[in-house]
Amino acid sequence: EVDWFSLASILFLLMFAPLIVYYFVMSCDQYQCSLIDPLIDLLMGNKHLSDIWNKTPTLTYRAAGIYTLWIAFQVVLYVFIPDYCHKFLPGYVGGVQEGAVTPAGVVNKYEINGLQAWIITHVLWFANAYYFHFFSPTIIFDNWIPLLWCANILGYAVSTFAMMKGYFFPTNAKDCKITGNFFYDYMMGIEFNPRIGKWFDFKLFFNGRPGIVAWTLINLSYAAKQQELYGQVTNTMILVNVLQGIYVLDFFWNEAWYLKTIDICHDHFGWYLGWGDCVWLPYLYTLQGLYLVYHPVQLCTANAVGILMLGLLGYYIFRMTNHQKDLFRRTNGNCKIWGKKPEYIECSYMSADGTKYHSKLMTSGFWGWARHFNYTGDLMGSLAYCLTCGFEHILPYFYIVYMTILLTHRCVRDEHRCFSKYGKDWKRYTAAVPYRLIPGIF
């Protein structure tokens, strides 16, 4: 059943999320990244909505061509080029991997080749920038708003297709969730793991490829634009490229681990993931770089090093916490965490077909400090990206605000799900590890 609050939030997001993205990008394009000035202009009657709209670049054939080529190229890399990286990169887990057991008891196989796709894409990008010069490395920045329309078209098309597919030809009908509420089903998705053919998995492709591979390219395009406009790239732009680059590379290096995260294990594929991956992620996760094109901040060395340290510490906590859980789960607790055998709580749950399963919840390492310390590390890293932009405008801080809301909400959502899954065992766990994000505080 869909309660009124969920329905209201969903309607709000369906109506306003595309406008929020537009507003941010437009405010950079027309108001030097000020979020307040467009509102003042409108309220004071200096401008009408139509003035702003008329100044907004429209969809162009060039952008449509670039975007179509981009998506087609990523599909080719995903579907037709099996992973070779795991054959020569020690420690990298790629190639065919299994996902978690779905509620209907299915175990899907995935071709993990995201790192390879990322490397090929970036090698070609640099080859073009330094040798071939087929297109300018500022191409993404130069077509940013026309590309936004293309990303929206794909985001809506894929979400609508996913909904129809869920109703009429689902990949696995037993894993579908239909509430009967059109808006909820459209937003949160019907199918759990929609696929076309054996290998084209919607969740893995859309979550990782068009958005996250693009993330680092978008930042490189911003750096190229700074170079073009000011004849130099600021240390803050380098920091954003490096810190976010580490995060993106980490994602692809650990793509097999990603199969065990909430996105793949628990979320259904609807507008939230489909549109979110195509539009929200590439446009709003890259706001710091965009801001730095309009406001090239150069920090003193001490501040730049401080931000770098914060970002790296956040990344370390994020990675180690995720690694500890992954190691613990892979070895079924037969491993060492901080040099000792891990402590845990034994728990059990039932799948939809009534089969009983056993599981363990770790209570030592970072998982003994707080129930979602990985989110805490993620938030520290997010804050570091924002701090690179100084304190002149609030726009770059949208990311930390959004991540705090996203991860706190995710925390609550995940804990609600875990409680339904594990019942009293989950209560024993929360008694053993009482805090969610910050030990002693929350």
User: Does 318 interact with ligand NDP (rule: CB under 6 A)?
Assistant: yes
Nearer to ligand NDP, 55 or 416 (CB): 416
Q: For ligand NDP, which residue of 203, 209, 225, 325 counts as binding (CB under 6 A)?
A: 325
- What is the x/- site pattern for ligand NDP, positions 61-100, by CB under 6 A? ----------------------------------------
Give min distance, CB of 94 to ligand NDP, in A: 19
171/196 Cα distance (integer angstroms): 8
Task: In whole angstroms, give the CA distance from residue 199 to residue 106.
Answer: 15
The site string for ligand NDP over 377-396 (x = CB under 6 A, - otherwise) reads -x------------------
Nearest to 259 by CA among 176, 165, 322, 177: 322
Q: Are 128 and 137 in contact, with CB atoms under 8 Å apart?
A: yes
Residue 60 found at the interface with ligand NDP (CB under 6 A): no
Choice between 229 and 438, CB closer to ligand NDP: 438
Angstrom distances, CA of residue 49 to CA of 24, 29, 56, 287, 325: 15, 15, 11, 23, 50
> Between the CA of residue 358 and those of 131, 227, 344, what are the distances in Å?
56, 56, 13
Count other Cβ atoms within 10 Å, centred on residue 377: 21
Q: Does 192 bind ligand NDP (CB under 6 A)?
A: no
Q: Which is nearer to ligand NDP, 92 or 375 (CB)?
A: 375
Nearer to ligand NDP, 60 or 261 (CB): 261
Nearer to ligand NDP, 86 or 325 (CB): 325
Kindly indicate which of the ranges 46-54, 333-341, 373-381, 392-400 contains the residues binding ligand NDP, using the contact rule CB under 6 A: 373-381
In the complex, minimum distance from the CB of residue 65 to ligand NDP, in angstroms, rounded to a whole number: 29
Our CB check for ligand NDP shows the closer of 165 and 325 to be 325
Under rule CB under 6 A, residue 374 binds ligand NDP? yes
Length of the chain: 442
Rule CB under 6 A: choose which of 32, 97, 160, 261 binds ligand NDP.
261
Query: Would you give the DSSP letter of residue 212?
Result: I
Cβ atoms within 10 Å, residue 94: 22
d(CA 402, CA 219): 19
Which tokens belong to 391? 């304190």
Token pair of 351 as six digits: 């799948």
Residue 372 near ligand NDP by CB under 6 A:
yes
Span of 16-24, 184-192, 289-297, 317-325 interacting with ligand NDP by CB under 6 A: 317-325
DSSP annotation string for 235-249: HHHHHHHHHHHHHHH
103-162: which residues touch ligand NDP (CB under 6 A)?
none
Tell me the C-alpha distance between 250 and 216, whole Å.
12
375 binds ligand NDP (CB under 6 A): yes
Q: Which of 234, 219, 221, 206 minimizes the C-alpha distance to 295?
A: 234
Q: Is 277 in the site for ligand NDP (CB under 6 A)?
A: no
- CA separation for the pair 281, 279 (Å, rounded): 6
Tell whether residue 361 is a contact of ligand NDP (CB under 6 A): yes
Q: What radius of gyration, in Å, describes the C-alpha atoms of the chain? A: 22
List contacts with ligand NDP (CB under 6 A).
Answer: 261-262, 318, 322, 325, 359, 361-362, 367, 372, 374-375, 378, 410, 414, 418, 421
